[in-house]
A and B are shown apart, each in its own frame.
Chain A
Amino acid sequence: MHGWTGQILRVDLTTRTWRREPFTEEFALTWIGGRGFAAKILYDELRPGIDPLGPESKLVVAVGPISGISAPNTGKTVVAAKSPITGGYGDGNLGTRVTEKLRKAGFDALIVEGRAERPTLLYIDDERVEFLPADEIWGRGTYETNDWIYARYGKGAGVLNIGQAGENLVRYAVVRSMEGRAGGRPGMGAVMGSKLLKAIVVKGSQPIPQAFPAEMKTLGRDDLRAVHALDQKSAWSKQGTTGVLGWCNEVAALPVNNFRESHHPEAWRVDGERLAAATVAVYGCPNCTMQCGLAMLDDQGRESELDYENMGLLGPNLGLFDIAQVATLNYMCDDYGIDTISGGGVLGFYADAVERGAAAGDLRFGDFAGFKRVLTAIAHREGEAGDILADGTLRAARAFGHGSEAYAMQCKGLEVSAYNCKFIPGMALAFGVSPIGAHHKESWIISYEIQQTPRESYGRDKAQKVIDLQRIRGGLFEAIVSCRFPWIEVGWGLENYPKYFNAITGLDWELEDFWPTSDRIYALIKLFWLREFPNTDRKADYPPHAWFDPANADTEGPIAGRILEYDKYDALLQHYYDIRGYDRRGIPTRETLERLGLGAEAKAAEEHATLT
């Protein structure tokens, strides 16, 4: 078996033991890596109903066959667990040196079990695993933690760490790495915190197993240059993802004031042009050829890496249109280890709830000092509001009551990322059927909806497009584990990825050969959710109520008076289910599961729920 190390590292923090576990070629070919490995491991090993923040919970860190090799943008790692915010499957990816180092230490995945007795740093290298005390850095932010680790292990070490939010079990705490990297927004940082695991440090020196290393070396070198040239030609990285903000504002897709409005006359103050002009440094992930981490100075002169999501949700969504102010909130989120998307969503929801009288307090949209104060309270679970808001928008809405759940901008408990879909049906579907709760990474079809098909349509083509993109973005890229940006942002052809895969593994796969694996991963994740929520129905795949509420329609601008319609959305959702081979609840049918080779997993699901 080429292309995989063939080994998983299993670590038990309770017993302070570890072991290498080989996996079979069949496992590798069935699940490929990354999200595929993580979903399969968590499905097989987690008893349904466990507390995601209890000792039975497990954290999976997984890479894929092309992760860490010298090729365009291969520096990503997947972190996954049962999500403490949704109660379902959760994962995310982040750029980190762990990607390369874990493979060079001889592993394709790491499973962390149990709970340490005291704050712990897990150290991994070629030959050993150590459980080291981390009391000195417990309670510190991620920047200081990172520096502390670098001082001891060198800047070349692979590092994953958490901040105070993860330690305090904020349900949307992330895992952090390097300067501005973060991943695992459905609370993977809280899972680390629940295990008293402050950081994971990885070093490795073995060669990454490759079938044709000489061919891969040439291919990788040439393609790194080629993608870089595409980026230079397109000037994409001048603004990175922040260029999207101005576009969203123009087409009425920007979240403003907890998604109440979809555009704002002051949005230009924080758009890509302004951010490009304010950029003082640019950072990226390992092996990146088109770095997108634009660093601005915050109100204290600290570098803060901004992208579109955090700009949108910590800016216009909070009624803030000042780069330094947004940079400050972003820096605080990064340092505390709070997901910027959920953090912005929660803060916006709270301001909305206060303004509508559902929650006590004096926070208002545009109140920069107030947002800083609340963010700090959340990270430390200070005060009643801080403690409630640390549990996320949906739980906070249920605590506040007064109908506030209607404007809690979330799906399955996870806050919506920065696309206001009050009149973008296909993207609303993409959020609704995302396998981790509302997130844009699985499928992003807004430009298709605006340019290539009527925006107001709920046609079957949109359901098909969502699936096509899920197969590529959420399946292919999350399993081989590589950044999707060369493809989506500068036009690097998808056909290049099977070339890397084949050079590494010695196989002869075409692009189409990856789609059954993508579908298998999505179906298995559906089964994971079903076991946790046996009485689930299609309503779980609905986007927030606010996008259907005529009272929430824009009063002026491109989509004035327009809003999603429930019956039409439901028909669009049914198209999605029909194409996928899911039943009316949104669960894969037995026939679909058999077709995808998930017969055993279906039987395991039937111990807890019904299949059709």
Chain B
Amino acid sequence: MRITVKLIGGLAHRLGFGEQEREVPAGTTAGGLLTALGIPDARTVITTRNGWGIAPDEVIEEGDRILVSPPFSGG
């Protein structure tokens, strides 16, 4: 299934892209996606799906827009 991944702040520079569409297997969890992105520990980032928080064990669905950002605190 296809999803969109958007990275925020320094993550975009570290992982080499700001936003991209990706193909992921059905049943992929948010935590699984983070691991695939090279982020093994979900606690080190803030992850949202379509603007709402998503837990590492939640399953991603077709067309989801996943946002991953560093744990910033708003300046």
Contact = CB atoms under 8 A, between A and B. Distances in A.
Interface of A: 234-236, 238-239, 241, 243-244, 246-247, 250-252, 272-273, 276, 307-309, 419, 440-441, 444, 446-447, 450-452, 455, 484-485, 488-489, 491, 557-559
A565 B51 CA distance: 20
The 10 closest A-B pairs by CB, nearest first: A558-B51, A243-B9, A235-B10, A488-B73, A444-B74, A235-B13, A241-B75, A451-B53, A450-B53, A236-B10
Interface in B39-75: 46-48, 50-53, 65, 67, 69-75
Contacts of B12: 239, 272-273
B10 A250 contact: no
19 contacts: A239-B10, A239-B12, A241-B72, A243-B72, A244-B75, A246-B8, A247-B46, A272-B9, A273-B18, A308-B75, A309-B75, A444-B74, A446-B74, A451-B48, A452-B53, A455-B53, A485-B75, A491-B71, A558-B50
A447 B9 CA distance: 14
B46 A272 contact: no
B10 A238 contact: yes
A129 B11 CA distance: 49
Nearest to B66: A250
A235 B14 contact: yes
Given A243-B72, A272-B8, A557 B13 contact: no
Contacts of A451: 46-48, 53
B51 A559 contact: yes
A276 B14 CA distance: 14
A451 B42 CA distance: 11
Nearest to A485: B75
Given A309-B75, A447-B72, A243 B8 contact: yes
Contacts of A236: 9-10, 70, 72
A452 B55 CA distance: 9
A247 B75 contact: no
A413 to B, nearest CB: 22
Interface string B20-42: 00000000000000000000000
Contacts of B70: 234, 236, 243, 489
A484 to B, nearest CB: 8
B75 A444 contact: yes
Interface centre among A241, A250, A252 (most CB of B within 10 A): A250
A447 B10 contact: no
A247 B10 contact: no
Interface residues of B, number: 25
A173 B9 CA distance: 30
A447 B73 contact: yes
Contacts of A243: 8-10, 69-70, 72
Contacts of B67: 247, 250-251
A251 B48 contact: yes
Contacts of B8: 243-244, 246-247, 272
Contacts of B53: 450-452, 455
Nearest to A427: B74
Contacts of A447: 46, 69, 71-74
Given A244-B72, A307-B75, A440-B74, A450 B52 contact: yes
Nearest to B55: A451
Given A236-B70, A273-B18, A447-B74, 14 more contacts: A234-B70, A235-B10, A239-B9, A252-B51, A272-B8, A272-B12, A444-B74, A447-B71, A447-B72, A451-B48, A452-B53, A455-B53, A484-B73, A557-B51
B70 to A, nearest CB: 6
Nearest to A558: B51
A241 B70 CA distance: 11
A273 to B, nearest CB: 5
A491 B71 CA distance: 8
Contact of A238 (B13, B52, B74): B13
Contacts of A488: 72-74
A451 B75 CA distance: 18
A492 to B, nearest CB: 12
Nearest to A450: B53
Nearest to B49: A558
B74 A244 contact: yes
A525 B73 CA distance: 24
Nearest to B45: A451
Contacts of B11: 235
A89 B22 CA distance: 51
Interface centre among A236, A440, A446, A455 (most CB of B within 10 A): A236
A437 B14 CA distance: 37
Contacts of B69: 243, 247, 447
Nearest to A307: B75
A250 B48 contact: yes
A235 B14 CA distance: 7
A308 B74 CA distance: 9
A530 to B, nearest CB: 29
B1 to A, nearest CB: 20
Interface centre among B9, B53, B71 (most CB of A within 10 A): B9
A241 B69 CA distance: 12
Contacts of A441: 75
A276 B44 CA distance: 23
Contacts of B47: 451
A359 B6 CA distance: 41
Nearest to A242: B9
